[in-house]
């Protein structure tokens, strides 16, 4: 079954912190496919989809960064009005709460990817697959 792992780096909200993360990944030949950054007053979270999550986790942890590796869903959807709504409708109808999400376009007007974090990943996968929603694996993210 499809599996995508996301790297989350917890860092102080100061200049140069994102550069440090990207430097470590670059020096370890790890390619970033998607990134999102959320910050509060003093701290923030940098979330990344990379081509080698295990290697990225190890490299960042070895440099003393506070890092986590967790499973998320990467959902292929149509890049058109209503594409996101269709996914949200299915999840809501099945009482699945989206705790975190971000998206990016692969091919304008054709293909987008929605990355979501939900508490019950197994249930969400079953529901989405039953509704014929295409769930991506990490390798798929580089073939689109």
Q: Which domain-ending residue is among 31, 48, 71?
A: 71
> What is the CATH classification number for the domain harbouring 106?
3.30.70.260
Confidence of residue 140 (pLDDT cuts 50, 70, 90): confident
Domain co-membership, 43 together with 63: yes
**Which tokens belong to 56?**
């990225």
- 62 and 25 in a common domain: yes
Say what the pLDDT of residue 2 is.
60
Count of the separate structural domains present in the chain: 2
DSSP codes, the chain: ---EEEEEEEEESSTTHHHHHHHHHHHTTPPEEEEEEEE-SSEEEEEEEES-HHHHHHHHHHTT-EEEEEEEEEEEEESSTTHHHHHHHHHHHTT--EEEEEEEEEETTTEEEEEEEES-HHHHHHHHHHTT-EEPPHHHHTT-
Domain that holds residue 82: 72-141
Of 16, 40, 71, the one marking the end of a domain is 71
Q: Is the pLDDT of residue 1 over 70?
A: no
Residue 6: pLDDT band by 50, 70, 90 thresholds?
A: very high
Q: Could you tell me the two tokens for 124? A: 């969400």
Domain boundary among 13, 42, 71: 71
- pLDDT (tens digit per residue) in 30-88: 999 899 998 888 899 999 999 999 999 999 999 999 999 999 999 999 999 999 999 99
Same domain for 136 and 76, yes or no, is yes
Q: Are residues 77 and 137 in the same domain?
A: yes
**Claim to verify: residue 98 and residue 134 sit in the same structural domain:** yes
pLDDT at 106: 86
């Amino acid at each position: 079954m499809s599996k995508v792992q996301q790297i989350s780096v917890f860092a102080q909200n100061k200049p140069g912190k994102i550069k440090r993360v990207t430097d470590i990944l670059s020096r370890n030949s790890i390619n970033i496919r998607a990134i999102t950054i959320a910050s509060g007053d003093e701290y923030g979270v940098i979330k990344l989809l990379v081509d080698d999550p295990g290697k990225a986790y190890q490299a960042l942890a070895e440099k003393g960064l506070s890092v986590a590796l967790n499973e998320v869903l990467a959902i292929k959807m149509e890049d058109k009005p209503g594409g996101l709504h269709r996914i949200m409708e299915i999840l809501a109808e099945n009482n699945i709460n989206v705790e975190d999400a971000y998206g990016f376009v692969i091919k304008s007007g054709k293909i987008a990817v929605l990355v979501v974090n939900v508490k019950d990943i197994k249930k969400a996968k079953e529901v989405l697959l039953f509704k014929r929603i295409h769930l991506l694996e990490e390798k798929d993210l580089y073939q689109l």
